[in-house]
Structure 1
Amino acid sequence: MTDHVLTHLSDGVLSVSLNRADKKNAITQAMYTALAEATERAQTDPAVRVILFRGEGDAFSAGNDIGDFIALGSQAAGPDDMPVFRFLKALAHLEKPAVGAVRGRAVGIGLTLLLHCDMVVVAEDALLSAPFINLALAPEAASSLLLPAIVGHPRAFEIFALGEPITGAKAEAWGLANRAVPAGQVDETARELAAKLASRAPNSIRKTKALMRDAERMWSLMLREGEAFGSQMRSPEAMEAFMAFQQKRQPVFDKAS
Protein backbone atom coordinates (compact mmCIF):
# COMPACT_ATOMS: atom_id res chain seq x y z
CA MET A 1 0.00 0.00 0.00
CA THR A 2 1.41 3.43 -0.96
CA ASP A 3 2.55 5.65 1.89
CA HIS A 4 0.35 8.36 0.38
CA VAL A 5 -2.61 6.56 2.02
CA LEU A 6 -2.25 5.67 5.70
CA THR A 7 -4.55 3.37 7.67
CA HIS A 8 -4.96 2.87 11.39
CA LEU A 9 -7.46 0.65 13.20
CA SER A 10 -8.46 1.53 16.75
CA ASP A 11 -11.59 0.60 18.72
CA GLY A 12 -13.40 -0.55 15.61
CA VAL A 13 -12.68 2.59 13.58
CA LEU A 14 -10.46 2.25 10.50
CA SER A 15 -8.98 5.68 9.80
CA VAL A 16 -7.93 6.16 6.18
CA SER A 17 -5.79 9.25 5.72
CA LEU A 18 -4.79 10.83 2.42
CA ASN A 19 -1.11 11.59 3.05
CA ARG A 20 0.12 13.72 0.16
CA ALA A 21 -0.15 17.10 1.82
CA ASP A 22 2.49 18.73 -0.43
CA LYS A 23 0.13 18.09 -3.37
CA LYS A 24 -3.06 18.96 -1.44
CA ASN A 25 -3.77 15.22 -1.32
CA ALA A 26 -4.35 14.99 -5.07
CA ILE A 27 -5.13 11.34 -5.77
CA THR A 28 -3.04 9.12 -8.06
CA GLN A 29 -3.96 5.70 -9.41
CA ALA A 30 -1.66 4.10 -6.81
CA MET A 31 -3.61 5.94 -4.13
CA TYR A 32 -6.90 4.67 -5.59
CA THR A 33 -5.57 1.13 -5.27
CA ALA A 34 -4.73 1.78 -1.61
CA LEU A 35 -8.14 3.38 -1.01
CA ALA A 36 -9.85 0.39 -2.63
CA GLU A 37 -7.89 -2.03 -0.45
CA ALA A 38 -8.78 -0.08 2.68
CA THR A 39 -12.48 0.07 1.77
CA GLU A 40 -12.56 -3.63 0.91
CA ARG A 41 -10.90 -4.34 4.25
CA ALA A 42 -13.56 -2.29 6.02
CA GLN A 43 -16.22 -4.40 4.33
CA THR A 44 -14.74 -7.81 5.14
CA ASP A 45 -12.79 -7.38 8.40
CA PRO A 46 -15.06 -8.05 11.41
CA ALA A 47 -12.78 -5.88 13.55
CA VAL A 48 -13.77 -2.84 11.48
CA ARG A 49 -17.11 -1.29 12.35
CA VAL A 50 -16.62 2.18 10.84
CA ILE A 51 -14.34 3.66 8.18
CA LEU A 52 -13.19 7.28 8.58
CA PHE A 53 -11.84 9.20 5.58
CA ARG A 54 -9.65 12.22 6.30
CA GLY A 55 -6.73 14.18 4.86
CA GLU A 56 -3.36 15.20 6.24
CA GLY A 57 -2.31 18.84 5.95
CA ASP A 58 -4.58 21.74 5.13
CA ALA A 59 -6.72 20.08 2.43
CA PHE A 60 -8.97 17.04 2.25
CA SER A 61 -8.22 16.45 -1.44
CA ALA A 62 -7.57 18.55 -4.52
CA GLY A 63 -9.15 15.75 -6.58
CA ASN A 64 -7.37 13.73 -9.22
CA ASP A 65 -3.67 14.32 -9.80
CA ILE A 66 -3.81 16.08 -13.17
CA GLY A 67 -0.61 14.62 -14.62
CA ASP A 68 -1.54 11.10 -13.57
CA PHE A 69 -5.07 11.72 -14.77
CA ILE A 70 -4.06 12.89 -18.25
CA ALA A 71 -1.74 9.90 -18.63
CA LEU A 72 -4.60 7.58 -17.70
CA GLY A 73 -6.88 9.24 -20.23
CA SER A 74 -4.48 8.36 -23.03
CA GLN A 75 -4.89 4.65 -22.27
CA ALA A 76 -7.71 2.50 -23.59
CA ALA A 77 -8.33 0.85 -20.23
CA GLY A 78 -11.77 -0.37 -19.22
CA PRO A 79 -13.29 -0.07 -15.74
CA ASP A 80 -11.96 -3.50 -14.71
CA ASP A 81 -8.41 -2.27 -15.35
CA MET A 82 -8.68 1.07 -13.53
CA PRO A 83 -7.98 1.37 -9.78
CA VAL A 84 -10.45 4.24 -9.47
CA PHE A 85 -13.32 1.94 -10.46
CA ARG A 86 -12.17 -0.69 -7.98
CA PHE A 87 -12.45 2.00 -5.29
CA LEU A 88 -15.84 3.21 -6.54
CA LYS A 89 -17.21 -0.33 -6.59
CA ALA A 90 -16.00 -0.86 -3.02
CA LEU A 91 -17.73 2.37 -1.96
CA ALA A 92 -20.97 1.41 -3.68
CA HIS A 93 -21.07 -1.96 -1.92
CA LEU A 94 -19.77 -0.83 1.47
CA GLU A 95 -22.25 -1.97 4.12
CA LYS A 96 -20.53 -0.47 7.14
CA PRO A 97 -20.86 3.21 8.04
CA ALA A 98 -18.41 5.72 6.61
CA VAL A 99 -17.50 9.09 8.10
CA GLY A 100 -15.78 11.97 6.30
CA ALA A 101 -13.62 14.66 7.95
CA VAL A 102 -12.94 17.67 5.73
CA ARG A 103 -10.64 20.65 6.14
CA GLY A 104 -9.66 23.00 3.34
CA ARG A 105 -10.37 22.02 -0.24
CA ALA A 106 -12.49 19.06 -1.29
CA VAL A 107 -12.43 19.04 -5.10
CA GLY A 108 -13.95 16.56 -7.57
CA ILE A 109 -13.63 13.11 -6.05
CA GLY A 110 -12.84 14.94 -2.81
CA LEU A 111 -16.47 16.05 -2.84
CA THR A 112 -18.14 13.05 -4.47
CA LEU A 113 -16.47 10.66 -1.99
CA LEU A 114 -18.38 12.48 0.75
CA LEU A 115 -21.67 11.52 -0.90
CA HIS A 116 -20.86 7.93 0.10
CA CYS A 117 -20.17 8.87 3.70
CA ASP A 118 -23.02 8.36 6.12
CA MET A 119 -21.84 11.19 8.34
CA VAL A 120 -19.67 14.15 7.34
CA VAL A 121 -17.88 16.78 9.40
CA VAL A 122 -16.56 19.85 7.57
CA ALA A 123 -14.62 22.90 8.60
CA GLU A 124 -16.79 25.98 8.44
CA ASP A 125 -14.30 27.56 6.03
CA ALA A 126 -13.76 24.43 3.92
CA LEU A 127 -14.35 24.82 0.18
CA LEU A 128 -16.14 22.01 -1.66
CA SER A 129 -16.41 21.92 -5.45
CA ALA A 130 -17.09 19.58 -8.35
CA PRO A 131 -15.54 21.34 -11.38
CA PHE A 132 -16.11 18.51 -13.85
CA ILE A 133 -17.72 20.73 -16.49
CA ASN A 134 -14.95 23.33 -16.05
CA LEU A 135 -12.62 20.56 -17.25
CA ALA A 136 -15.10 19.48 -19.95
CA LEU A 137 -15.75 16.20 -18.13
CA ALA A 138 -18.82 14.60 -16.55
CA PRO A 139 -19.84 13.64 -12.99
CA GLU A 140 -18.57 10.41 -11.42
CA ALA A 141 -18.96 8.21 -8.31
CA ALA A 142 -22.76 8.12 -8.78
CA SER A 143 -22.79 11.83 -7.96
CA SER A 144 -25.27 12.52 -10.77
CA LEU A 145 -27.78 10.59 -8.61
CA LEU A 146 -26.57 11.27 -5.08
CA LEU A 147 -25.90 15.01 -5.20
CA PRO A 148 -29.37 16.00 -6.51
CA ALA A 149 -30.94 13.58 -4.00
CA ILE A 150 -29.18 15.42 -1.17
CA VAL A 151 -29.30 19.09 -2.18
CA GLY A 152 -31.97 19.14 -4.91
CA HIS A 153 -31.63 19.53 -8.67
CA PRO A 154 -31.08 23.31 -8.90
CA ARG A 155 -28.28 23.36 -6.32
CA ALA A 156 -26.67 20.19 -7.69
CA PHE A 157 -26.76 21.56 -11.23
CA GLU A 158 -25.15 24.78 -10.05
CA ILE A 159 -22.37 22.84 -8.33
CA PHE A 160 -21.75 20.77 -11.47
CA ALA A 161 -22.31 23.40 -14.17
CA LEU A 162 -20.52 26.36 -12.62
CA GLY A 163 -17.89 24.42 -10.67
CA GLU A 164 -17.76 27.13 -8.02
CA PRO A 165 -16.91 26.11 -4.44
CA ILE A 166 -19.34 26.21 -1.55
CA THR A 167 -18.21 26.72 2.01
CA GLY A 168 -18.43 24.12 4.74
CA ALA A 169 -21.08 26.23 6.45
CA LYS A 170 -23.19 26.19 3.28
CA ALA A 171 -22.54 22.46 2.83
CA GLU A 172 -24.07 21.86 6.25
CA ALA A 173 -27.04 24.11 5.46
CA TRP A 174 -27.60 22.26 2.17
CA GLY A 175 -27.47 18.83 3.83
CA LEU A 176 -24.05 17.74 2.58
CA ALA A 177 -22.62 17.62 6.10
CA ASN A 178 -23.83 16.74 9.58
CA ARG A 179 -21.56 19.20 11.37
CA ALA A 180 -19.70 22.38 10.37
CA VAL A 181 -17.11 23.26 13.00
CA PRO A 182 -13.90 25.30 13.27
CA ALA A 183 -11.10 23.67 11.30
CA GLY A 184 -9.19 22.72 14.43
CA GLN A 185 -12.15 20.67 15.69
CA VAL A 186 -12.84 18.65 12.54
CA ASP A 187 -10.81 15.53 13.33
CA GLU A 188 -11.92 15.37 16.96
CA THR A 189 -15.59 15.78 16.06
CA ALA A 190 -15.38 13.18 13.28
CA ARG A 191 -13.65 10.69 15.57
CA GLU A 192 -16.31 11.21 18.23
CA LEU A 193 -19.07 10.47 15.71
CA ALA A 194 -17.18 7.44 14.38
CA ALA A 195 -16.75 6.12 17.93
CA LYS A 196 -20.48 6.51 18.57
CA LEU A 197 -21.27 4.57 15.40
CA ALA A 198 -18.76 1.87 16.33
CA SER A 199 -20.54 1.41 19.67
CA ARG A 200 -23.92 0.73 18.05
CA ALA A 201 -25.26 -2.73 17.15
CA PRO A 202 -23.21 -3.53 14.00
CA ASN A 203 -25.72 -5.78 12.22
CA SER A 204 -28.50 -3.29 12.85
CA ILE A 205 -26.34 -0.46 11.44
CA ARG A 206 -25.47 -2.47 8.31
CA LYS A 207 -29.09 -3.46 7.65
CA THR A 208 -30.23 0.11 8.14
CA LYS A 209 -27.64 1.39 5.69
CA ALA A 210 -28.53 -1.33 3.16
CA LEU A 211 -32.18 -0.27 3.28
CA MET A 212 -31.18 3.34 2.59
CA ARG A 213 -28.98 2.58 -0.43
CA ASP A 214 -29.22 0.57 -3.65
CA ALA A 215 -25.66 -0.65 -4.22
CA GLU A 216 -26.28 -2.27 -7.60
CA ARG A 217 -28.07 0.79 -8.92
CA MET A 218 -25.17 3.01 -7.85
CA TRP A 219 -22.57 0.69 -9.37
CA SER A 220 -24.51 0.51 -12.63
CA LEU A 221 -24.70 4.30 -12.72
CA MET A 222 -20.98 4.58 -11.95
CA LEU A 223 -20.28 2.51 -15.06
CA ARG A 224 -22.58 4.70 -17.16
CA GLU A 225 -20.94 7.83 -15.77
CA GLY A 226 -17.58 6.25 -16.56
CA GLU A 227 -18.55 5.91 -20.21
CA ALA A 228 -19.54 9.58 -20.40
CA PHE A 229 -16.44 10.62 -18.46
CA GLY A 230 -14.18 8.52 -20.68
CA SER A 231 -15.64 9.84 -23.92
CA GLN A 232 -15.21 13.40 -22.69
CA MET A 233 -11.62 12.67 -21.65
CA ARG A 234 -10.81 11.99 -25.29
CA SER A 235 -12.78 14.95 -26.65
CA PRO A 236 -11.43 18.20 -28.14
CA GLU A 237 -13.26 20.03 -25.33
CA ALA A 238 -11.27 18.22 -22.66
CA MET A 239 -8.00 18.70 -24.53
CA GLU A 240 -8.66 22.45 -24.59
CA ALA A 241 -9.70 22.46 -20.91
CA PHE A 242 -6.57 20.62 -19.76
CA MET A 243 -4.31 22.78 -21.91
CA ALA A 244 -5.95 25.91 -20.51
CA PHE A 245 -5.54 24.57 -16.97
CA GLN A 246 -1.83 23.96 -17.49
CA GLN A 247 -1.40 27.36 -19.15
CA LYS A 248 -3.39 29.09 -16.37
CA ARG A 249 -5.92 30.65 -18.75
CA GLN A 250 -9.62 30.38 -19.45
CA PRO A 251 -10.57 27.65 -21.94
CA VAL A 252 -12.16 28.67 -25.24
CA PHE A 253 -14.68 25.99 -26.08
CA ASP A 254 -16.01 27.43 -29.34
CA LYS A 255 -12.73 26.42 -30.98
CA ALA A 256 -12.93 22.93 -29.48
CA SER A 257 -16.47 22.09 -30.55
Structure 2
Amino acid sequence: MTDTILSQTEDRVLKITLNRPEKKNALTLAMYERMTALVAAAQDDPEVRVVMITGSGDSFSSGNDLADFLAHPPTPGDSPAASFLHCIAQAEKPLIAAVNGLAIGIGTTLLLHCDFAYAAASAKFQLPFVNLALVPEAGSSLLMPQLAGHRKASELLMLGEMFDPETAREVGLINSVCADADLEQTALETARRLAAKPPEALRLTKALMKDTSGGVTERINKELGHFAHRLESTEAHEAMQAFMEKRLPDFSKFS
Protein backbone atom coordinates (compact mmCIF):
# COMPACT_ATOMS: atom_id res chain seq x y z
CA MET A 1 0.00 0.00 0.00
CA THR A 2 1.36 3.43 -0.98
CA ASP A 3 2.40 5.71 1.87
CA THR A 4 0.20 8.79 1.54
CA ILE A 5 2.61 10.95 3.55
CA LEU A 6 6.31 10.83 2.73
CA SER A 7 8.98 12.34 4.96
CA GLN A 8 12.70 12.92 4.58
CA THR A 9 15.21 14.88 6.66
CA GLU A 10 18.26 16.33 4.94
CA ASP A 11 20.42 19.31 5.88
CA ARG A 12 18.23 19.68 9.00
CA VAL A 13 15.15 20.25 6.84
CA LEU A 14 12.20 17.90 7.32
CA LYS A 15 10.40 17.61 3.99
CA ILE A 16 6.81 16.35 4.21
CA THR A 17 5.21 15.34 0.90
CA LEU A 18 1.50 14.73 0.47
CA ASN A 19 1.53 11.60 -1.65
CA ARG A 20 -1.92 10.79 -2.94
CA PRO A 21 -1.56 12.12 -6.50
CA GLU A 22 -4.41 10.03 -7.93
CA LYS A 23 -6.76 11.96 -5.61
CA LYS A 24 -5.02 15.32 -6.09
CA ASN A 25 -3.59 14.86 -2.58
CA ALA A 26 -6.99 15.15 -0.91
CA LEU A 27 -6.43 14.80 2.81
CA THR A 28 -7.80 11.92 4.83
CA LEU A 29 -7.94 11.72 8.62
CA ALA A 30 -5.03 9.27 8.58
CA MET A 31 -2.95 11.78 6.60
CA TYR A 32 -3.74 14.50 9.13
CA GLU A 33 -2.65 12.20 11.95
CA ARG A 34 0.64 11.41 10.24
CA MET A 35 1.43 15.05 9.46
CA THR A 36 0.63 16.08 13.02
CA ALA A 37 2.96 13.41 14.39
CA LEU A 38 5.77 14.53 12.08
CA VAL A 39 5.44 18.26 12.79
CA ALA A 40 5.09 17.68 16.54
CA ALA A 41 8.14 15.39 16.67
CA ALA A 42 10.17 17.93 14.70
CA GLN A 43 9.71 20.52 17.46
CA ASP A 44 11.82 18.41 19.85
CA ASP A 45 14.26 16.99 17.32
CA PRO A 46 17.61 18.84 17.26
CA GLU A 47 18.29 17.36 13.81
CA VAL A 48 15.30 19.28 12.40
CA ARG A 49 15.37 23.06 12.22
CA VAL A 50 12.84 23.71 9.44
CA VAL A 51 9.72 21.88 8.22
CA MET A 52 8.75 22.05 4.56
CA ILE A 53 5.43 20.81 3.12
CA THR A 54 4.76 20.10 -0.56
CA GLY A 55 2.68 17.78 -2.72
CA SER A 56 3.36 15.03 -5.24
CA GLY A 57 2.12 14.95 -8.80
CA ASP A 58 0.27 18.00 -10.12
CA SER A 59 -1.31 19.12 -6.85
CA PHE A 60 -0.40 20.54 -3.48
CA SER A 61 -3.76 19.50 -2.00
CA SER A 62 -7.28 19.53 -3.40
CA GLY A 63 -8.61 19.87 0.15
CA ASN A 64 -10.30 17.40 2.42
CA ASP A 65 -11.39 13.99 1.20
CA LEU A 66 -15.14 14.62 1.44
CA ALA A 67 -16.13 10.96 1.70
CA ASP A 68 -13.76 10.50 4.64
CA PHE A 69 -14.95 13.67 6.34
CA LEU A 70 -18.65 12.95 5.86
CA ALA A 71 -18.07 9.56 7.47
CA HIS A 72 -16.04 11.10 10.31
CA PRO A 73 -17.05 14.78 10.71
CA PRO A 74 -14.33 16.92 12.35
CA THR A 75 -15.03 18.49 15.74
CA PRO A 76 -13.49 21.47 17.54
CA GLY A 77 -11.90 19.10 20.05
CA ASP A 78 -9.42 16.38 19.28
CA SER A 79 -10.29 15.40 15.71
CA PRO A 80 -7.27 14.68 13.47
CA ALA A 81 -7.94 17.79 11.37
CA ALA A 82 -8.25 20.04 14.44
CA SER A 83 -5.11 18.53 15.97
CA PHE A 84 -3.14 19.25 12.78
CA LEU A 85 -4.36 22.84 12.58
CA HIS A 86 -3.45 23.51 16.20
CA CYS A 87 -0.09 21.82 15.65
CA ILE A 88 0.96 24.03 12.72
CA ALA A 89 -0.47 27.14 14.38
CA GLN A 90 1.65 26.49 17.47
CA ALA A 91 4.79 25.18 15.74
CA GLU A 92 7.89 26.93 17.08
CA LYS A 93 10.21 26.10 14.18
CA PRO A 94 9.87 27.69 10.74
CA LEU A 95 7.31 26.20 8.36
CA ILE A 96 7.69 26.50 4.59
CA ALA A 97 5.21 25.49 1.89
CA ALA A 98 5.99 24.74 -1.76
CA VAL A 99 2.66 24.90 -3.59
CA ASN A 100 3.06 22.83 -6.73
CA GLY A 101 -0.45 22.80 -8.21
CA LEU A 102 -4.01 22.80 -6.91
CA ALA A 103 -4.36 24.34 -3.44
CA ILE A 104 -8.03 24.05 -2.52
CA GLY A 105 -9.55 24.66 0.92
CA ILE A 106 -7.06 23.49 3.52
CA GLY A 107 -4.47 23.51 0.71
CA THR A 108 -4.74 27.30 0.85
CA THR A 109 -5.64 27.96 4.49
CA LEU A 110 -2.68 26.03 5.90
CA LEU A 111 -0.46 28.62 4.17
CA LEU A 112 -1.73 31.15 6.72
CA HIS A 113 0.27 29.26 9.35
CA CYS A 114 3.47 28.99 7.31
CA ASP A 115 6.32 31.46 7.69
CA PHE A 116 7.31 31.20 4.04
CA ALA A 117 5.35 29.97 1.03
CA TYR A 118 6.25 29.68 -2.63
CA ALA A 119 3.99 28.73 -5.52
CA ALA A 120 4.59 27.33 -8.97
CA ALA A 121 3.35 29.45 -11.85
CA SER A 122 0.82 26.69 -12.60
CA ALA A 123 -0.64 26.71 -9.06
CA LYS A 124 -4.34 27.46 -8.52
CA PHE A 125 -5.93 28.50 -5.23
CA GLN A 126 -9.49 28.39 -3.97
CA LEU A 127 -11.40 28.89 -0.71
CA PRO A 128 -14.68 27.18 -1.70
CA PHE A 129 -16.28 26.77 1.74
CA VAL A 130 -19.40 28.88 1.13
CA ASN A 131 -19.97 27.11 -2.20
CA LEU A 132 -20.16 23.85 -0.23
CA ALA A 133 -22.56 25.42 2.29
CA LEU A 134 -19.73 25.44 4.84
CA VAL A 135 -17.76 28.17 6.62
CA PRO A 136 -14.03 28.98 6.59
CA GLU A 137 -11.61 26.88 8.66
CA ALA A 138 -8.04 26.97 10.00
CA GLY A 139 -8.62 30.44 11.45
CA SER A 140 -8.98 31.89 7.95
CA SER A 141 -12.02 34.02 8.84
CA LEU A 142 -9.70 35.93 11.20
CA LEU A 143 -6.36 35.67 9.42
CA MET A 144 -7.45 36.40 5.83
CA PRO A 145 -8.99 39.83 6.67
CA GLN A 146 -5.84 40.67 8.67
CA LEU A 147 -3.67 39.66 5.73
CA ALA A 148 -5.64 40.88 2.73
CA GLY A 149 -8.06 43.45 4.18
CA HIS A 150 -11.78 42.94 4.70
CA ARG A 151 -12.92 43.55 1.13
CA LYS A 152 -10.37 41.29 -0.56
CA ALA A 153 -10.93 38.61 2.07
CA SER A 154 -14.68 38.87 1.41
CA GLU A 155 -14.05 38.36 -2.28
CA LEU A 156 -11.94 35.26 -1.69
CA LEU A 157 -13.98 33.70 1.13
CA MET A 158 -17.54 34.69 0.16
CA LEU A 159 -17.38 34.25 -3.62
CA GLY A 160 -15.11 31.22 -3.30
CA GLU A 161 -13.72 31.48 -6.81
CA MET A 162 -10.40 30.17 -8.09
CA PHE A 163 -7.51 32.62 -8.04
CA ASP A 164 -4.00 32.60 -9.49
CA PRO A 165 -0.54 32.69 -7.87
CA GLU A 166 -0.08 36.39 -8.59
CA THR A 167 -3.23 37.18 -6.61
CA ALA A 168 -1.97 34.91 -3.82
CA ARG A 169 1.27 36.90 -3.80
CA GLU A 170 -0.51 40.26 -3.84
CA VAL A 171 -2.62 39.41 -0.78
CA GLY A 172 0.38 37.99 1.09
CA LEU A 173 -0.43 34.27 1.01
CA ILE A 174 2.87 33.47 -0.69
CA ASN A 175 6.30 35.08 -0.92
CA SER A 176 6.80 34.65 -4.64
CA VAL A 177 5.82 32.79 -7.79
CA CYS A 178 8.39 30.41 -9.29
CA ALA A 179 8.77 28.58 -12.55
CA ASP A 180 7.37 25.10 -12.01
CA ALA A 181 10.80 23.51 -12.42
CA ASP A 182 12.36 25.87 -9.85
CA LEU A 183 9.73 25.62 -7.10
CA GLU A 184 11.17 22.92 -4.87
CA GLN A 185 14.73 24.21 -5.15
CA THR A 186 13.59 27.74 -4.26
CA ALA A 187 11.77 26.51 -1.16
CA LEU A 188 14.65 24.25 -0.14
CA GLU A 189 17.16 27.08 -0.55
CA THR A 190 15.18 29.22 1.90
CA ALA A 191 14.83 26.24 4.24
CA ARG A 192 18.59 25.63 4.24
CA ARG A 193 19.32 29.31 4.86
CA LEU A 194 16.98 29.23 7.86
CA ALA A 195 18.51 25.98 9.10
CA ALA A 196 21.89 27.70 9.24
CA LYS A 197 20.60 30.47 11.54
CA PRO A 198 20.91 30.40 15.35
CA PRO A 199 17.92 28.17 16.20
CA GLU A 200 16.82 29.68 19.52
CA ALA A 201 16.99 33.22 18.15
CA LEU A 202 14.89 32.09 15.20
CA ARG A 203 12.27 30.45 17.43
CA LEU A 204 12.01 33.53 19.65
CA THR A 205 11.67 35.81 16.62
CA LYS A 206 8.82 33.67 15.28
CA ALA A 207 7.14 33.61 18.70
CA LEU A 208 7.32 37.40 18.97
CA MET A 209 5.86 37.84 15.49
CA LYS A 210 2.94 35.49 16.25
CA ASP A 211 2.16 37.09 19.62
CA THR A 212 -0.58 39.65 18.93
CA SER A 213 -1.23 40.59 22.55
CA GLY A 214 -0.61 44.06 23.99
CA GLY A 215 0.40 47.31 22.34
CA VAL A 216 3.66 48.79 21.08
CA THR A 217 4.96 49.76 24.52
CA GLU A 218 4.38 46.26 25.90
CA ARG A 219 6.04 44.75 22.82
CA ILE A 220 9.11 46.98 23.13
CA ASN A 221 9.54 45.87 26.73
CA LYS A 222 9.05 42.22 25.84
CA GLU A 223 11.62 42.48 23.05
CA LEU A 224 14.10 44.22 25.35
CA GLY A 225 13.74 41.42 27.90
CA HIS A 226 14.56 38.81 25.28
CA PHE A 227 17.29 41.02 23.80
CA ALA A 228 19.13 41.33 27.11
CA HIS A 229 18.95 37.59 27.68
CA ARG A 230 20.12 36.84 24.13
CA LEU A 231 23.20 39.04 24.54
CA GLU A 232 24.45 36.54 27.11
CA SER A 233 23.62 33.46 25.01
CA THR A 234 26.19 31.16 23.44
CA GLU A 235 24.53 31.75 20.06
CA ALA A 236 25.18 35.50 20.30
CA HIS A 237 28.73 34.88 21.50
CA GLU A 238 29.41 32.78 18.40
CA ALA A 239 27.83 35.39 16.10
CA MET A 240 29.85 38.27 17.53
CA GLN A 241 33.09 36.30 17.72
CA ALA A 242 32.68 35.33 14.07
CA PHE A 243 32.06 38.97 13.14
CA MET A 244 35.23 40.10 14.90
CA GLU A 245 37.22 37.25 13.34
CA LYS A 246 35.78 38.04 9.89
CA ARG A 247 34.39 34.55 9.35
CA LEU A 248 30.97 32.99 8.91
CA PRO A 249 29.32 31.97 12.19
CA ASP A 250 28.74 28.27 12.81
CA PHE A 251 25.47 27.52 14.57
CA SER A 252 25.47 23.81 13.76
CA LYS A 253 26.24 22.81 17.36
CA PHE A 254 23.22 24.61 18.81
CA SER A 255 19.73 23.16 19.14
Determine if the TM-score, normalized by the shorter chain, exceeds 0.5: yes
Task: Supply the distance in 2 between the matched residues of 1:106 and 1:167 (Cα, whole angstroms).
Answer: 10
Counterpart of 1:198 in structure 2 is: 195
> Larger radius of gyration, structure 1 or 2?
2
Counterpart of 2:217 in structure 1 is: none
The 8 Å contact of residues 50 and 198 in structure 1, kept in 2 or not, is answered as: yes
User: Shift of the alpha carbon at 1:215?
Assistant: 9.0
Is 1:207 paired with 2:204? yes
User: Shift of the alpha carbon at 1:173?
Assistant: 2.1
Is 1:151 paired with 2:148? yes
Counterpart of 1:42 in structure 2 is: 42
Q: Which runs of 5+ in 2 are unaligned?
A: 214-255
Counterpart of 2:245 in structure 1 is: none
Task: Supply the distance in 1 between the matched residues of 2:30 and 2:211 (Cα, whole angstroms).
Answer: 28
Is 1:115 paired with 2:109? no
Identity among equivalent pairs (%): 47
Is 1:52 paired with 2:52? yes
User: Shift of the alpha carbon at 1:78?
Assistant: 4.2
**TM-score normalised by structure 2 residue count:** 0.80
- Equivalent runs, 1:1-257 vs 2, <5 Å: 3-73=3-73, 78-214=75-211
Return the letter of the residue paired with 1:132: F
The 8 Å contact of residues 75 and 82 in structure 2, kept in 1 or not, is answered as: no
Task: Supply the distance in 1 between the matched residues of 2:17 and 2:146 (Cα, whole angstroms).
Answer: 27
User: Shift of the alpha carbon at 1:145?
Assistant: 1.5
With 195-204 and 54-63 compared, the bigger mean Cα shift is at 195-204
**TM-score normalised by structure 1 residue count:** 0.79
The 8 Å contact of residues 125 and 169 in structure 1, kept in 2 or not, is answered as: no
Deviations 1:36-60 (A, max 9, x none): 1011012121211000000000000
User: Shift of the alpha carbon at 1:123?
Assistant: 1.1
Q: Compare relative contact order (CA 8 Å, sep 6+) and give the higher one, 1 or 2.
A: 1
Deviations 1:44-80 (A, max 9, x none): 212110000000000000000011111123xxx7444
User: C-alpha root-mean-square deviation of aligned residues, in Å?
Assistant: 1.6
Return the letter of the residue paired with 1:51: V
